[in-house]
């Protein structure tokens, strides 16, 4: 009995499947670009929002190192949840909740962006570990400034809450400080930190 043979071909040749798989893998590693309306902040905010692990803390370090006038405000906004991602546009905005909507402002606060429903905005993901890192980063702003007066002001700002600064950071700063007045202030901060930690 004669049985006709079927010339079966795979729907996708093996090479095509390999190419498709490569494209998908590459796409998974490409970060969706986030917009902030401020050119120098686009890349670090994209890295913070789309990145993972140490890439996210590196992004925060980059933002802090820019030494913008609003650096503290930006980092505090991430920590508090006041900065959010407007999902339809991929834009980081300042958001204030009003009923079932959020009122939006541009990141630098110069422009009103209208409002949108709560489901269209997302808080920037901050884990407990990241919260601790952010608090320490915010506390340390100005401590590494090239201007001794800025360093001194940052130290004085920490006197009421010295526990916000990590012990290892304080030791590092003491070891590298060369200005006597600033070094004296750091020593006072260290003593204050010790006194607070000794309290029951």
What is the residue-level pLDDT of the chain in tens, covering all 200 positions? Answer: 545 554 545 554 556 555 445 544 444 444 578 999 999 999 999 999 999 999 999 999 999 988 788 998 999 999 999 999 999 999 999 999 999 999 999 999 999 999 999 999 999 999 999 998 898 888 778 888 888 998 998 898 888 888 888 888 899 999 999 999 999 999 999 999 998 877 66
Say yes or no: 132 and 121 in one domain.
yes
3-state secondary structure the chain: CCCCCCCCCCCCCHHHHHHHHHHHHHHHHCCCCCECCCHHHHHHHHHHHHCCCHHHHHHHHHHHHCCCCCHHHHHHHHHHCCEEEECCCCEEEEEEEECCEEEEECCCCCCEEEEEEHHHEEECCCCHHHHHHHHHHHHCCCCCCCCHHHHHHHHHHCCCCHHHCCHHHHHHHHHHCCCHHHHHHHHHHHHHHHHHHHCC
Residue-level pLDDT at 28: 42
- Residue 183 covered by a domain: yes
Alpha-carbon gap, residue 96 to 159, rounded angstroms = 31
- Residue 61 covered by a domain: yes
In the chain, the number of structural domains is 2
The model's pTM is 0.69
Per the structure, the complete domain to which residue 122 belongs is given by 33-139
- Residue 117 covered by a domain: yes
Say yes or no: 64 and 42 in one domain.
yes
- Residue 123 covered by a domain: yes
Say yes or no: 119 and 170 in one domain.
no
Residue-level pLDDT at 26: 44
- Residue 42 covered by a domain: yes
Structure tokens at 108: 């630098």
Residue-level pLDDT at 52: 93
Say yes or no: 56 and 121 in one domain.
yes
What is the number of other CB atoms lying within 10 angstroms of the CB of residue 75?
Answer: 19
Residue-level pLDDT at 16: 53
Contacts of residue 106, defined as CB under 8 A and 6 or more positions apart, other chains included, come to 37, 93, 94, 113
């Amino acid at each position: 009995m004669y049985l006709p043979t079927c010339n079966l071909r795979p729907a996708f040749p093996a090479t095509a499947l390999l190419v498709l798989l490569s494209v998908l893998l590459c796409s998974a590693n490409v970060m969706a670009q986030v917009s902030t309306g401020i050119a120098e902040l686009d890349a670090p905010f994209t890295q913070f929002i789309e990145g993972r692990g140490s890439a996210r803390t590196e992004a925060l370090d980059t933002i802090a190192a820019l030494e913008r006038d609003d650096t503290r405000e930006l980092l505090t906004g991430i920590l508090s949840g006041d900065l959010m991602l407007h999902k339809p546009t991929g834009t980081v905005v300042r958001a204030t909740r009003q009923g079932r909507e959020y009122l939006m402002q541009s990141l630098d606060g110069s422009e009103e962006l209208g409002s949108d429903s709560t489901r269209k905005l997302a808080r920037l993901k901050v884990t407990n570990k990241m919260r601790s890192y952010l608090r320490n980063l915010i506390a340390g702003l100005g401590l590494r400034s090239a201007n001794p007066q800025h360093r001194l002001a940052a130290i004085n700002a920490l006197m009421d809450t010295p526990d916000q600064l990590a012990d290892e950071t304080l030791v590092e700063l003491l070891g590298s400080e060369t200005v006597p007045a600033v070094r004296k202030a750091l020593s006072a901060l260290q003593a204050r930190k010790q006194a607070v930690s000794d309290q029951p």
